[in-house]
Amino acid sequence: MKTSLLVGVFFLIFMFVPPYAHASLVNIQTDGNLRWNVLGLTDGALTSLPPEELVVTNALDGKNIKNEAYLALERQNDTVQLTVVVNGEQTVADVTSYGDEIITLEAKQKPQEIRILNTEGKFRIVQNGVAAETQYPIYIDTKDRRVSVSTDTGRQYLLVMPSEALLSAVRSNVVTKLNENSIMTLKQGIDGEVLYQLEGQKIVSLFNLMELPVDVSVLVSASTGKIEDVNQPVWLQILGFLFQRKVVA
């Protein structure tokens, strides 16, 4: 009898664990509402402020923040700070040691979800398994769900996300695939525009006899998805029209 009771208790505990127990610290839902991960706030990862001081409006009672919110993820000397502003009230948390995703922008289709992490001195933006890293501060407005970065020439929106940048390069037939375990880099071009730099391979077919992988480096606009530059061997630039190119859409 006692054994059955204990099993029942553990079953109920398991069944009622919040669905966001292993979610990001902050989730921006598809309707623009913002939710804090309660467990993330109380697991000791945020060391700059005690949990009771990390309350943003009604976040800790499990409700959504329905008002427009503004998030900033920045490096301050040796720390990483997450700032959330709601109704003019600002909360700043030290998330330097937080080991999971810090921010997730949810999407109706799971592959389009955007996750932002802090890793090895950089911020990593991940979409559909494709990642890009940057040292630029990241800002998010929950109302329009737009992500921007602050560069030397000012704030710029990332209207193209990592997997979309890769898809643009593949469809433009300048690259076939990323190098294994490759992570793209967000950088500024000569004119100040923010670009994705990706390192990959282009597979060319030599007269239908064999396939040859060729290393290429591609720059893709983070605002338009346009291919801005392709660094490839000179022989491929000159003789590329002779080869049938293998394109993976």
CATH of the domain at 224: 3.10.450
Select from 138, 157, 176 the last residue of a domain: 157
Total number of domains constituting the chain? 2
Q: Please tell me whether residues 170 and 106 are part of one structural domain.
A: no
Is the per-residue pLDDT at 247 higher than 80?
Answer: no
* pTM for the whole structure: 0.76
> Domain containing 70: what range?
18-157
Residue 6, pLDDT score? 33
Q: Please tell me whether residues 140 and 25 are part of one structural domain.
A: yes
Secondary structure, 3-state, the chain: CHHHHHHHHHHHHHHCCCCCCCCCCEEECCCCCEEECHHHHHCCCCCCCCHHHCCCCCHHHCCCECCCEEEEEEEECCEEEEEEEECCEEEEEECCCCCCCCEEECCCCHHHCEEEEEECCEEEEEECCEEEEECCCEEEECCCCEEEEEECCEEEECCCCHHHHHHHHHHCCCCCEECCCCCEEEEECCCCCEEEEEEEEEEEEECCCEEEEEEEEEEEECCCCCEEEEECCHHHHHHHHHCEECCCC
Tell me, yes or no, whether 3 lies in a domain.
Answer: no
Q: Please tell me whether residues 101 and 29 are part of one structural domain.
A: yes
Q: What is the pLDDT of residues 98-149, one digit of tens each?
A: 877 899 998 877 778 999 999 888 999 999 999 999 999 999 988 888 899 9
| Average pLDDT of the residues in 196-213 | 81
Q: Please tell me whether residues 26 and 120 are part of one structural domain.
A: yes
